[in-house]
Amino acid sequence: MRGMNAQDKASKPRVVLLGTGGTIAGSGTADADVGAGSAAYQSAVVTAQDLIAGVPGLSALAELRAEQVFQIDSADFTDEHLLRLARRVAALCRQDEVDAVVVTHGTDTMEETAYFLHLTVPTDKPIVLTGAMRPGTALAADGPANLRQAVAVAAHASSAGRGVLMVMNEEIHSGRDVAKVHSLRLDAFASQHGALGLVVEGAPRWYRRVERPHGAASEFDIDRIDALPLVGVVTSHGNMRAEIYDSWAALGARAIVHAGFGGGTVPEYLKAPLAELRARGVLLVRCSRTGAGPVVRGASIDDDALGWVVSDDQNPPRARLLAALALTRGGDPTAVKRVFLRY
C-alpha cells in the first residue's frame, strides 16, 4: 500500500479503527443469559480502544489507533451520521500516514453505511466494515474474530482498489451488494452476486471483483455533498393506500422508492396517483421487495411515459441512498436513470 523504500515495505500497515457503536461494542447485563441467546444486552458501551485491547494479536497485523466517531445503536443512524462518518473516513484516507480504515458498526444498517462509503469516499485505500451478531459477553461472541479478520483484510495489500468491504463470519463482501438476511444467525450477511472472497488462515482469498464504479471512479465525492435530499421508501403489500406516498411528498421527499412485488410491480390502482406525484415533481424509483434480482425498465410498465426510474439490482435501502446521491446532481429522470444503470 505505501512502499516507498525497503524500510516502509518492512513496516506494518497503519490502520485507523473508527468506532461507531453497535452490538460489537455491546455488553450483557449481569442477570442476562447472554451465553445462551445473547439477546439481552446493551448496545454501544465498549469503546473502540477497548475493542482493540480485547482482541489478542491485533498489534502483529497492523499499527493501530482508535477513534470513537459515535457510540450508538446502528438503528439510530441518520443521514447526518452517514455524512459525518464519510467525511472522517475521507479525511483519514487523504493522510499519507494512514494506509487503511476499519469501521466497527452495528449490523442493522451496516449495509447502508458500507454502500454510502463505497460511492462517496474517493480513495483506493482499503475501507473495511465489521460488526457482530452477539455482544462480547456472549458465550460464543463473534465480534473478536470479525474484528481480527477485518484488520487482516484492511492491512493486506491486495485489498486496495476493491471498494468498501464488509468482513463478517470469514466472508468478504462488497459494500455494493451485501445485505443483512437473517435476524440472529452469525452468517447474517449475504451478497446476491456472491462474496468477493473469504478470509482463509488469516489472509484474504479473492474470487471476484465489483465491476461498477466506486471510490475515486465515482462522481459522488463526499467533500462536495453538504446534505442528502429526502427520499422515502414504501414497501408493497396487499391493499395499499396512495396516501402513504402522499405523506412522503408532504414531508418534502424529492423521490420515493417503491419496493414493489416481484420485479417492482405497481398495482393498477396506484398507477394514477403515482403518476400525479411525478407530475408534481416527485421522482418514483421502482424497486423489488424481494432483495435480489434486477427490476427491468419497461417490463409491464411504461416507465419512459411515466417518467419513472428502475433500481436495476439494488435493494430498497441502497436504492434510497443512490437516489439521494443522484438528486444531489439534479432531478432529471434521465440523469437519475443513468446513475442507477452505472452504479
Given the residues 23, 113, 130, 137, select the one marked as catalytic: 23
Which runs of E-coded beta strand occur in 131-183? 165-168, 171-174, 178-180
CB count, 10 Å around CB of 210?
A: 18
Cα separation, 201 vs 316, in Å, equals: 35
Tell me which residue of 58, 47, 43, 78 sits closest to 12, measured CA to CA.
58
Cα separation, 317 vs 333, in Å, equals: 19
Q: What is the CA radius of gyration of the chain?
A: 21
Dihedral angle at the C-alpha atoms of 126, 94, 25, 128, nearest 10 degrees? Answer: -10
105 neighbors 23 (Cβ within 8 angstroms)? no
- From residue 47, alpha-carbon distances to 30, 50, 69, 104, 148 in Å are 19, 5, 10, 10, 16
Cell of 175: 459494500
Cα separation, 89 vs 87, in Å, equals: 6
21 neighbors 48 (Cβ within 8 angstroms)? no
Q: Residue 23 catalytic?
A: yes
Beta bridge mates, 102 = 17, 128
Cell of 291: 432483495
Tell me which residue of 182, 112, 132, 102 sits closest to 23, measured CA to CA.
132
- From residue 12, alpha-carbon distances to 3, 107, 157, 240 in Å are 11, 29, 11, 56
Q: Annotated active-site positions, please?
A: 23
